[in-house]
């Protein structure tokens, strides 16, 4: 693997300097930025706007213990069970114990969570949870509401510089310490900083069907790996059981939140028969990996491209109020969910693995941090418990900010020629669209919900061919580097899946 995606004279790049550089403007990136000392100069850089990120699309909510009928030990247990025993216990305890304080901090920042008539926080239940503990904002628009509020606060913070349409190219290190990044913003540029935080979100666009936005191409994971960061648990890719089935979908599928099943929605096969009873004690509220595989089995049994989700027992008024986004989107697609079943199918949704971090969100490289979906804190293990992801963003975003302030790193003066090198490469005409489509096809066929040794091996070989092609030509623009990132990230997933022989959590080996 080539160390750098950029190939040119680094000494000729326009240069800026910040105390902290955060790559990504979703909830993880924004919350980290807002918890930093306002005396620090902070750049929050995003591939597109805050509206184009997984945080914005998060329908579910935030799982946290906020009422007396629940207990933190239950939340910890539910997380460990969903993670198939492969979670890092200390990380899970940290997540659950610190969660309530971060919710109070969000409320103090002006975030409005949905409340009951008596004024207390309204809590609901989702798959894998033994208690009602999911907080929502705006019904089924929690991620959107949080992102909007945090983005607004960030624009009011004088020490924060928010810039969109910026592509992360490389992370610079010296003696295992991060000291800057190469970015593309109309042209290649260099930003010096001893505190780099990767909050680039998921990897869903390496698959043909995903709930992730178009920006989720694994850029943070691939770039950090090229810099020497350790990756972990890359085989554990979560497929959400219920995305709206549309045979013509391209790029991004519409998510049908697990919260519907939390409100009593029932999965039925194409003929209308229930099928989750007897498969798991929680039936339709079983952990996502179990539900996704059950749906695939039912589709195969009935020779159908989808199954059905039935929430018609709920009134139209309730559904409009509780699930306004889903109700309207399904209506636009010709389905009145108060009267008709929703056609659904499993699609890629979330990466449990990623850039390995400690409890302070720091990687094995001093000064390089990762938060949110691009990080692997160890919280999720082999399968993420519903609505733990937004909690992870805020808990570890806060811990990341605290650690940066504690360390007080200063950007050293370094001879760039000691840490960066370019190589002689030739221009070559390549069809980026075809290569991206090939990566997606490989991953959907060979790295999906059910995997086999032979297909994983074939997929790895095919991806290596793509990587070798891209490594040996001059990559001229972000789209070409993004394609390299996709191929590298996809290969990390398949290699990790190949090396784990046993089936566990979201990783299922048929042989």
* Catalytic center residues: 288
Among candidates 288, 233, 238, 239, which has minimal Cα distance to 262? Answer: 288
Q: b/e for 73-97, b at 16 or more Cβ within 10 A?
A: ebbbebbbbbbbebbbeebbbbbbe
CB 355 within 8 A of CB 196: no
Task: Cite the beta strand spans of 116-218 per DSSP E.
Answer: 123-124, 134-135, 160-163, 167-174, 177-184, 188-192, 196-198
CB 21 within 8 A of CB 191: yes
CA distance 61 to 54: 13
Q: What radius of gyration do the chain's Cα atoms show?
A: 22
Two tokens, residue 482: 């993004």
Query: Reading across the β-sheet that carries 62-63, which strands appear in turn?
Result: 62-63, 134-135, 123-124
How far is residue 194 from each of residues 17, 311, 313, 411, measured CA to CA in Å?
Answer: 10, 51, 56, 5
Q: Let me know how many helices (H) and strands (E) the chain has, helices first.
A: 14, 19
Eight-state DSSP code of residue 121: B
CA distance 320 to 336: 11
How far is residue 280 from each of residues 124, 172, 402, 496, measured CA to CA in Å?
Answer: 21, 48, 41, 28
Two tokens, residue 14: 């326009």
CA distance 187 to 117: 54
Enumerate residues 6+ apart whose C-beta is below 8 A from 348: 204, 207, 209, 210, 211, 212, 237, 238, 239, 240, 448
CB 247 within 8 A of CB 383: no
How many CA atoms does the CB half-sphere of 326 hold within 13 Å? 31
Beta bridge partners of 375: 355
Query: What values do phi and psi take at 346, rounded to 5?
Result: -70, 140
Longest dimension (CA), the chain: 69
CA distance 280 to 286: 6
């Amino acid at each position: 693997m080539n160390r750098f995606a950029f190939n040119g004279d680094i000494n000729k790049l326009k240069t800026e300097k910040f105390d902290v550089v955060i790559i990504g403007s979703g909830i993880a990136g924004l919350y980290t930025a807002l918890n930093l000392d306002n005396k620090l100069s902070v750049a929050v850089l995003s591939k597109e706007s805050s509206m184009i990120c997984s945080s914005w699309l998060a329908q579910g909510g935030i799982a946290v213990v906020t009422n007396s009928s629940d207990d933190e030990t239950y939340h910890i247990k539910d997380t460990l069970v969903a993670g198939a025993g492969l979670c890092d216990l200390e990380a899970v305890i940290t997540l659950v114990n610190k969660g309530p304080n971060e919710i109070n901090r969000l409320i103090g920042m002006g975030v409005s969570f949905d409340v009951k008539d008596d004024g207390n926080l309204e809590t609901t239940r989702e798959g894998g949870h033994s208690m009602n503990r999911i907080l929502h904002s705006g019904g089924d628009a929690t991620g959107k509401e949080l992102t909007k509020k945090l983005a607004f606060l960030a624009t009011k913070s004088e020490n924060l510089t928010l810039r969109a349409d910026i592509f992360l190219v490389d992370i610079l290190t010296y003696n295992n310490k991060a000291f800057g990044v190469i970015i593309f913003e109309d042209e290649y540029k260099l930003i010096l900083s001893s505190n780099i935080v990767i909050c680039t979100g998921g990897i869903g666009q390496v698959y043909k069907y995903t709930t992730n936005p178009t920006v989720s191409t694994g850029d943070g994971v691939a770039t950090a790996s090229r810099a020497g960061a350790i990756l972990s648990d890359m085989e554990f890719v979560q497929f959400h059981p219920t995305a709206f089935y549309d045979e013509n979908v391209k790029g991004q599928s519409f998510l049908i939140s697990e919260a519907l099943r939390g409100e009593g929605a029932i999965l039925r096969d194409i003929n209308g028969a229930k099928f989750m009873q007897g498969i798991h004690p929680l039936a339709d509220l079983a952990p996502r990996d179990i539900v996704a595989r059950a749906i695939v089995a039912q589709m195969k049994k009935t020779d159908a491209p989808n199954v059905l989700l039935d929430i018609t027992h709920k009134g139209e008024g309730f559904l409009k109020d509780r699930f306004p986004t889903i109700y309207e989107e399904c209506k636009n697609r010709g389905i009145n969910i108060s009267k008709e079943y929703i056609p659904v199918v499993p699609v890629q949704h979330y990466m449990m693995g990623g850039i390995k971090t400690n409890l302070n969100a720091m990687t094995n490289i001093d000064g390089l941090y990762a938060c949110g979906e691009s990080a692997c804190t160890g919280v999720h293990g082999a399968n993420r418990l519903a609505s733990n992801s937004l909690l992870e963003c805020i808990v570890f975003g806060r811990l990341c900010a605290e650690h940066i302030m504690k360390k007080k790193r200063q950007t050293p003066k370094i001879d760039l020629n000691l840490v960066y090198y370019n190589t002689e490469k030739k221009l070559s005409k390549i069809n980026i669209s075809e290569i991206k489509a090939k990566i997606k096809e490989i991953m959907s066929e060979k790295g999906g919900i059910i995997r086999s040794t032979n297909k994983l091996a074939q997929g790895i070989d095919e991806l290596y061919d793509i990587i070798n092609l891209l490594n040996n030509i001059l990559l001229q623009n972000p789209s070409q580097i993004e394609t390299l990132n996709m191929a590298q990230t996809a290969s990390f997933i398949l290699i990790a899946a190949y090396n784990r022989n046993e089936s566990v959590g979201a990783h299922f080996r048929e042989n």
